[in-house]
Amino acid sequence: MNATFSPGLEGVVAAQTRLSSVDGLAGELIIAGFPLEELADKATFEETVYLLWNDALPNAKQLADFKSNLAAYRAIPSITLDVLREAAKQRLDVMDALRMAASTISLNLSGETDDDLRDAYALVASFPTIVAAYWRLLNGQQPLEPRANLSHAANYLYMLTGETPTPERVRGLETYLNTVTDHGLNASTFTARVIISTGSDLVSAVVGAVGALKGPLHGGAPGPALDMVFEIGEATNAEPYLRAKLGRGELLMGFGHRVYKVRDPRADVLAQAAEKLFTSGGDMALYELVQHVEKTAVRLLEEYKPGRKLQTNVEFYTALLLHGLGLPTDLFSPTFAISRAAGWIAHCFEQQSANRIIRPQSVYTGTKDRQWVAVEKR
């Protein structure tokens, strides 16, 4: 067989999907038929998950049943808490703790019949519980029991702080979760599809995807994007600070994307969500500084790297929005995983529906015709 090597599988089509369409040249993201800007700030997260899993929006009864089913799986096994307590003693990264704890979710399902939908509910429902419990343990607090009377997003915020969140904060988080729930055949999604294509289970596929997401080249770095803004401090400092970084050949976090050659559409959606959140009671001075830094950075990137089209990406306004919601930077990637788990599972369902094991070719570059030499003669 003639094989063509494509580093990083660049340009290789490995799946057909109805779940999302990413057009990097047009700056367009479609989620299950909806342009992102049509869905993200209107749907609840539960509606978006239902849409991804069922290819239709739920009616009132379907939505109520779906929310009830998710809420029923929010509690995590005692052994999962034990794992989190041990991880907290070692001050492990939150993503490491999530990966380890997620693999124990199967223990909460032992004795039940094999049911992929049940596993899907359990994974999506338990991720916020795991992350919130671990964060509280890291900070010397006891984990809180989940509340079934709160939405998925509201319950996550409650379990982090112990306070019932305002509707504005819930809406801000839901918009974020909807925005990042799926994004083409990225590294973690591809990982999930490869694992499920072998006939393995959903828990294994999702745990593998968490491992892929943990890598900084995929999960991104929204925290450093916000750190840069804080270091700038005032609008007058933006241009000299950014010129100095670019002059040293450093990257500007929050700008440029492997796929998007124009402004990332997710940045637009999250910028609008951040504006609504900060206008309702946030630090507007910070919001205005972020806008100024963005405009300055885009202008200078074109000056220093003409033609590269390094525009604002999702990380930049992710950092501002999640900061406005009160989340520390160590929770940015785990919160991303809370959303993306629903997309991973949707891709697993899609892979299972017309499965063929994913098994690409490789090009051998080693030597041939070696002769064996006994160890005493080497």
Residue 69 belongs to some domain of the structure: yes
Q: How confident is the model at residue 90 (pLDDT cuts 50, 70, 90)?
A: very high
Q: Reply yes or no on whether 234 is catalytic.
A: no
User: pLDDT at position 111, please?
Assistant: 57
Whether residue 26 is found in the same domain as residue 129: yes
Whether residue 46 is found in the same domain as residue 86: yes
| Per-residue tokens: 368 | 């041939």
Whether residue 195 is found in the same domain as residue 47: yes
Domain hosting residue 64, numbered range:
20-218+330-353
Write the burial class of residue 356 (CB in 10 Å: 0-12 exposed, 13-18 middle, 19+ buried): exposed
How does pLDDT run across 176-190, given as a tens digit for each residue? 999 999 999 999 999
Distance CA 249, CA 143 (A): 44
Q: How confident is the model at residue 74 (pLDDT cuts 50, 70, 90)?
A: very high
Residue 214 belongs to some domain of the structure: yes
User: pLDDT at position 180, please?
Assistant: 96
Report residue 34: phi and psi, to 5°: -100, 130
Whether residue 186 is found in the same domain as residue 263: no
How does pLDDT run across 149-159, given as a tens digit for each residue? 999 999 999 99
Predicted TM-score of the model (pTM):
0.93
Residue 363 belongs to some domain of the structure: no
Q: Reply yes or no on whether 257 is catalytic.
A: yes
Residue 359 belongs to some domain of the structure: no
User: Which candidate in 46, 174, 183, 257 is catalytic?
Assistant: 257
User: Which candidate in 174, 315, 323, 347 is catalytic?
Assistant: 315
How does pLDDT run across 323-376, given as a tens digit for each residue? 999 999 999 999 999 999 999 999 999 999 999 999 988 888 899 999 999 999
Quick one: DSSP state of residue 377? Answer: G
Write the burial class of residue 329 (CB in 10 Å: 0-12 exposed, 13-18 middle, 19+ buried): middle
Nearest to 294, CA basis, from 249, 258, 263: 263
Whether residue 40 is found in the same domain as residue 137: yes
Percent of all residues in the chain with a pLDDT value above 90, rounded to a whole number: 81
Length reported for the chain: 378
User: pLDDT at position 12, please?
Assistant: 86
Between vectors from CA 138 to CA 133 and to CA 143, what angle results, nearest 5°?
25
Distance CA 344, CA 203 (A): 11
Predicted confidence (pLDDT) at residue 109 exceeds the cutoff of 80? no
